[in-house]
Amino acid sequence: MRRFTRLTGSRKASPRVIKMELDVAIQLITGFRKPVQTPEIWLDLGCGSGLFTHALAHFLSPKSEIYAIDKEPVAIIPLNRPGDIVIHPLQLDFVQEELSFRELDGILMANSLHFVRDKPVFLRAIGRRLKAGGLFLIVEYDSDKPNPWVPFPLGFRSLENLFKKEGYTDIRKLGEHPSRYGRSNMYAAAISKK
C-alpha cells in the first residue's frame, strides 16, 4: 500500500520528481465530480505517503478533512496543499479492522483495492459509511492478472461489474496513465449510487 514508493521508485525522491508525480495524480482524478462549496470529510484508504491524498485535496473546499489511513505508519510527504485542507494520518488495517466513520462524502482508494481479497463483502461494509450522494474514487491498474505487488487486481471492466452487482449505477472512467513499470495502464474511476 505504499503508493508513493511505487509511483516514484523512492520515498526520497527529489521535490521536482514529487511535483511531477503530483501533477499526474491530479490530472488522473480530474473531473470526478462537480465542485462543492462546503467542507467535506473523506477517507483515503491505503494512503501510503499521501500522493493521492494531496491530489484529492486540490479538489476539496477549504476546511475539508481527509483521514489518511494505512496499515503501515503513516508519513505524509510534505507537499503544499490548497485551502486549509486538514489531513489526519491514522495507522490501521482498513481490511481487518473496523472503521468507525459515518456520513462520509467520499472514499479514495488509490492502488489499495487490489489488496482486498473479498471485494463484495468489503464494499458492502465500507459503502454503508458513505452519506447519500457520496462516492468512491478508485485508482487501479487496468489488469486482472495478479502479480506479487498486485495480488487481487481489478481491471476497469471488472471494477464496473463488481460495483454494478453491489447496486452502484454511476460508474465513470476518468482517465488513464501509463504505468511506470511497463505493465497495464493505471486508471481512475468515480463511482456513486444514484
Q: For residue 11, is pLDDT > 80?
A: no
SS3 80: coil
User: CA dist 52 to 69, 90, 97, 153, 154, Å?
Assistant: 12, 15, 22, 19, 18
Q: What is the pLDDT of residue 98?
A: 87
Half-sphere exposure of 157 (CA within 13 A, CB side): 3
Quick one: pLDDT at residue 2? 34
The pLDDT of residue 172 is above 60: yes
Residue 67, pLDDT score:
97
Residue 7 pLDDT > 80 = no
Q: Which residues are CB-neighbours of 35 under 8 A, at least 6 positions away?
A: 59, 61
For the chain, what is the mean pLDDT? 86
- Residue 171 contacts residue 163 (beta carbons within 8 Å): yes
pLDDT in tens, 74-93: 988 877 666 689 999 999 99
What pLDDT shows up at residue 12? 38
Question: What percent of the chain clears pLDDT 70, i.e. is strictly above it?
Answer: 85
Identify the pLDDT of residue 82.
67
Nearest to 1 by CA among 138, 124, 114: 114
Looking at this protein, which amino acid is placed at residue 4? F
Residues 6+ apart with CB under 8 A from 71: 1, 46, 91, 92, 93, 94
Residue 4 predicted with pLDDT over 70:
no
Place of cell 449505477: 169
More confident residue, 180 or 49: 49
Mind giving me the DSSP string for 96-138?
A: TSPP---SEEEEEEES-GGG-S-HHHHHHHHHTTEEEEEEEEE
Please give the average per-residue pLDDT across 51-72, as a whole number.
Answer: 94
Q: pLDDT confidence of 184, banded at 50, 70, 90?
A: confident
Q: What is the pLDDT of residues 64-77, one digit of tens each?
A: 999 999 999 998 88
Q: What is the pLDDT of residue 9?
A: 33
Most confident of 85-89, 104-108, 145-149: 104-108
Report, as an integer, the average pLDDT of 27-34. 92
The neighbouring-strand residues paired with 69 are 45, 90
Q: Whats the size of the chain, residue-wise? A: 194
